[in-house]
Structure 1
Amino acid sequence: MRVAVADVGTNSSHLLIAEARGEGGGYRVLDALKDRTRLGECLDAAGNLTREGEERLAAALTHFQALGAAAGVPEVQVYATSALREAPNGPEVAARVGERTGVYPVIISGEREGQLTYLGAAHSVDFGADNVLLDLGGGSLELARGGPERAEDVLSLPLGAIRMTRAWLHRDPPSKAELRALQDAVRSALAPHLGRFWVRPGTHVVLSSGTAEAAAALLAARGDTLPPSVNGLTVTTADLAALLERIRGLSAARRIRLPGLERRADTIVAGLAVLHAALEELGAERATVSEGALREGMLIEELGRHMAYAQGLSARQRSVLATAERFGANLAHARHVSALARDLLARLEAAGETFPPEARSLLTAAAVLHEVGQIVVQSAHHKHSAYLIRHAGLRGFTPREIELVAQLARYHRRSGPKSSHPEYAALPAPDRALVARLAAVLRVADGLDRSHAGEVRLHNLTRSAPGWTLTVSGATPLDLAGARDKADLWAREFGPLTVLERATPEGILGA
């Protein structure tokens, strides 16, 4: 299995393409790319992303998608952080860029960003029983505390290197007074949260950011020769203070000549000042640098989800998964749609709707295979999916079951089942009813992952006199629109469906 993930930050966007190795969660990196999108400099007076910023983002995602396709990955999963998260027009920009490029940048919260970065760092350097991670981006600083694998507490503060440079450093080189004011602002922002992230005896402190990597490289450099990697290197708070003082006195023209700062000379002073002040305020004397960050966390999470899903399948459903992979289907999307479809089916049954025992297995197979026709053509891929399923040689299914799976996939989009469709009309009446009802479920499940973000969770499905109400969380505006657009067959088979987003308490992890 191959996976392509990318994160869109305030300063740059990063792509990572990797291949799973064995069943232990390991992977091999096939390709990586950094694009200097610099979205932070493309904000208007109201904080909206400008047309220039949108063009930069679209160009980066188009390039990422092309590299992913060349590596045999059907789709790149993209998470957008501070720049789009804080821009008032961020959701609109994400939707437009997704429509233009076919890659939808999912805007995630600072807490979600911290969780994934913690996961990526935990697989890059040794974590102990108690760890505090500081991840500095262009727009925000994330702090996370947790155990060997998972963050238990995450905080996101608007203290990113680009943001702090613009807010506090107006001279070149910056004055001591400017630097002192910047660090005072960092300490003030951290003060209310010290109890949550204070460094105790035995706490392992980890830094994850381009600023931290650049600082560690400069401290470990021999002349103009930088170390090939800084992953796992330890830097002391005192060393960072000395490096900050050294760099602060240089103009941008001189900083750019330092090895490793060619593209970071304009933000390195603010970045170092934020990290140094934060470490001091938290009581940390030293920290370990991790090169693993958000995109590595995304990759590890995606591979873990896929392994857990595959292990829970029956032998014949594994053959379905192998078929989907053979035809180049987006396995992450297929897996999530199948999970949503099974959940919807179970909730319908709990509400009194009856289905035959085979319904769950047929729906799962159709959900995994519903987009395999895209290997032929995008525009009518639902019809090609049905054809490929009929002739794929699925193991463990009877000819009747294969035909039902094919027709379910056929009706996951566009027109619902009609008596004028020859293959549908040829089915016995009970099978026609089953296809229509299960296709209604599949259409809503597919709509709920229209963004291909894999974040939607179901919470409640209730029936009342006007119809059904489905409450979900984690849905993007695109997902909600997708589910509502594709609820037509559901309305015909079960009654009108209203889809609502559940409000998530801010700062609650895993809600």
Structure 2
Amino acid sequence: MPRRVAVIDLGSNSARMAIFERTSRLGFFILREYKIKVRLGEGAYENGGVLQDAAMDNVFCAFSEFKHFIKLYKVNKVLCAGTSALRDAPNSSVFINRIKNELGLGLKIIDGKMEAFYGGVAALNLLSPLSEATTIDIGGGSTELAKIKDGKIIDTISLNIGTVRLKELFFDKKDISGAAKFIDDMLSNLPNGFNSANIIAIGGSLRAISNAIMQIKKHPLKLVHNYSYELKEHSSFIEKLAFANVFDLKDFPVKKDRYDTIREGAMIFSKVAKRLGGKKIHTSGAGVREGIFLSNLLRPGIKFPQNFNPSLRSLQDRFIETSNPNTPKYAKILFDVLKPLHKLDDKYANELVIASKLYSLGRFLGFYSEHAHSSYIVQNGLNYGYTHEQKALISAIIFYQGKLISELGEFKELLPSIDEVRWLSFLLGLAKAVNISDEMEFSFVNHALHIKGIKNFFMVKESIKKLVKPSIFAITFD
């Protein structure tokens, strides 16, 4: 697969393009992302689905801009997908031919089940693992569901319920009760096999709702991807948003560019989530674009190899020139050897090992404040596959690295106890200090940690002595 791939997703409301850059066989990151509100479905739902000239012109202009950036960033491959509005339109072929002939872009219509599948692929690979869940991807013309179970997508469905569709047919006519009935009728035949306590929220409207809840709760991490909340705790807020007067939207923590369809999105989400029996909402910043990219990247499969994380690999590819495998190895050994003393839950060994692989990310900026730069990059670049709690902890372990911790700062609510963070950061600092040899040995006897292999390395021993121990015990060099 080429190094740089652009994926264009043309929906009923917006045209979006993401430029993905591969850093190795499976490692990647999003280099650039663009969104233009084109409203391709505007006027179509009251005219038999026929695309209107003004709407098609808007999309053509958007694609022309996309083409500029495709050339600017020397993109090697372009994948274009059209969803609900194009599916419904009897004149879609005319527009597709215009895009092909005048811009050289091959726009393909994907059916509703494939659209749902792509959302499922993105959720399956780029969120923290869930044994079972159902995705809800709300677009302008339709809503897609994908049922995920035991690492597989077992069913998909597309429903003709979308924000622009509801806006034109009901909300613009102030027929809110009609919109509610329309959704209920659509959901009446939804198979029970899609029911799930875990709901994965995909799409701009649902990200906007999650962002609003994050602001209300003053959530410290500002990235919406993988943010989770209890539906019961916030269902009343979502319903108030759905039934709000358009002039009262300014009182909600929602961006202005979402005002035109956020009420419709909130109504759809509230009803679909309740119909599915949803309890926990997991927000996905990844959707159809990522699903299309991953389906091409991972073919013939649809899932990354076990224990592989694309964000972790991409950060290592881009920012760590030489990787020392001893640091993760010794971090895990020290965690196990000192277990009688620290008594940490075994689950934290994973975050410690990840931190030990990424602690030197900031070195490319220079020696000074390397730990702070590395911590920041983790917060903002370790995007996929980790919960907000895991990201905050990995970042904190890297930031402190055995230094004195008097308070946990802005991420306190996401972190375990201060004593647990002290231990984990100490273990990273110690593993980093002793990574000079492949043949280190460690043992914990008579309340003393015995380190064999660095007896004649005076600078290493001095650096270990400077570490702030989280408990009283001796360290000897044999």
TM-score (structure 2 length as normaliser): 0.58
Read off the aligned partner of 1:39 and give its amino acid letter: L
User: Once the 2 structures are TM-superposed, how far is the Cα of residue 223 of structure 1 from its aligned partner?
Assistant: 8.8
Contact 1:69 1:75 (8 Å CA) reproduced: no
Given the superposition, is the C-alpha separation of residues 205 and 93 from structure 1 closer, same or farther in structure 2, using an over 3 Å criterion? Answer: same
1:184 match: 181
User: Once the 2 structures are TM-superposed, how far is the Cα of residue 303 of structure 1 from its aligned partner?
Assistant: 2.0
**Secondary structure at 2:55 match in 1:** helix
Deviations 1:250-291 (Å, cap 9, x if unpaired)? Answer: 432331564433111121111111111111111112221111
Distance 1:198 1:65 in 2: 41
Contact 1:256 1:263 (8 Å CA) reproduced: no
Deviations 1:113-167 (Å, cap 9, x if unpaired)? Answer: 1111111122221232322111110100101112355422110011111112222
1:107 match: 109
Read off the aligned partner of 1:218 and give its amino acid letter: A
Distance 1:182 1:135 in 2: 18
Contact 1:194 1:282 (8 Å CA) reproduced: no
Distance 2:14 2:48 in 1: 21
Contact 1:218 1:226 (8 Å CA) reproduced: no
1:51 match: 53
Given the superposition, is the C-alpha separation of residues 168 and 132 from structure 1 closer, same or farther in structure 2, using an over 3 Å criterion? Answer: same
Taking the TM superposition and a 5 Å limit, the aligned residue runs for 1:76-115 are 76-115=78-117
Deviations 1:83-108 (Å, cap 9, x if unpaired)? Answer: 11111111221112221111121111
User: Once the 2 structures are TM-superposed, how far is the Cα of residue 179 of structure 1 from its aligned partner?
Assistant: 4.0
1:15 match: 17
2:267 match: 273
Q: Percent identity?
A: 24
**Length, aligned pairs only:** 299
Structure 2: stretches of 5+ with no match in the other structure: 303-478
Distance 1:225 1:290 in 2: 16
**Secondary structure at 2:35 match in 1:** strand
Candidates 157, 160, 171, aligned match of 1:158:
160
Distance 1:300 1:139 in 2: 24
Read off the aligned partner of 2:245 and give its amino acid letter: S
User: Once the 2 structures are TM-superposed, how far is the Cα of residue 70 of structure 1 from its aligned partner?
Assistant: 1.2
Given the superposition, is the C-alpha separation of residues 243 and 97 from structure 1 closer, same or farther in structure 2, using an over 3 Å criterion? Answer: same
Read off the aligned partner of 1:155 and give its amino acid letter: I
User: Once the 2 structures are TM-superposed, how far is the Cα of residue 77 of structure 1 from its aligned partner?
Assistant: 1.1
Read off the aligned partner of 2:261 and give its amino acid letter: T
Given the superposition, is the C-alpha separation of residues 231 and 56 from structure 1 closer, same or farther in structure 2, using an over 3 Å criterion? Answer: same
Given the superposition, is the C-alpha separation of residues 154 and 137 from structure 1 closer, same or farther in structure 2, using an over 3 Å criterion? Answer: same
**Secondary structure at 1:247 match in 2:** helix
Read off the aligned partner of 1:108 and give its amino acid letter: I
1:194 match: 191
Contact 1:256 1:264 (8 Å CA) reproduced: no
Contact 1:127 1:147 (8 Å CA) reproduced: no
Distance 1:117 1:159 in 2: 16
Aligned: 1:128 with 2:130: yes
1:141 match: 143
Distance 1:153 1:48 in 2: 30
Taking the TM superposition and a 5 Å limit, the aligned residue runs for 1:292-441 are 292-305=286-299
Read off the aligned partner of 1:232 and give its amino acid letter: N
**Secondary structure at 1:123 match in 2:** helix
Aligned: 1:230 with 2:230: no
TM-score (structure 1 length as normaliser): 0.54
2:34 match: 33
Question: Aligned-pair RMSD on alpha carbons?
Answer: 2.5
Structure 1: stretches of 5+ with no match in the other structure: 309-511
Contact 2:42 2:52 (8 Å CA) reproduced: no
Read off the aligned partner of 1:95 and give its amino acid letter: N
1:421 match: none
Mean CA deviation greater in 225-234 or 266-275: 225-234
Distance 2:301 2:68 in 1: 26
1:356 match: none
Read off the aligned partner of 1:36 and give its amino acid letter: K
Read off the aligned partner of 2:227 and give its amino acid letter: L
**Secondary structure at 1:41 match in 2:** coil
Taking the TM superposition and a 5 Å limit, the aligned residue runs for 1:197-216 are 197-199=194-196, 204-216=198-210
Contact 2:192 2:276 (8 Å CA) reproduced: no
User: Once the 2 structures are TM-superposed, how far is the Cα of residue 182 of structure 1 from its aligned partner?
Assistant: 2.7
Taking the TM superposition and a 5 Å limit, the aligned residue runs for 1:274-289 are 274-289=268-283
Distance 1:126 1:236 in 2: 16
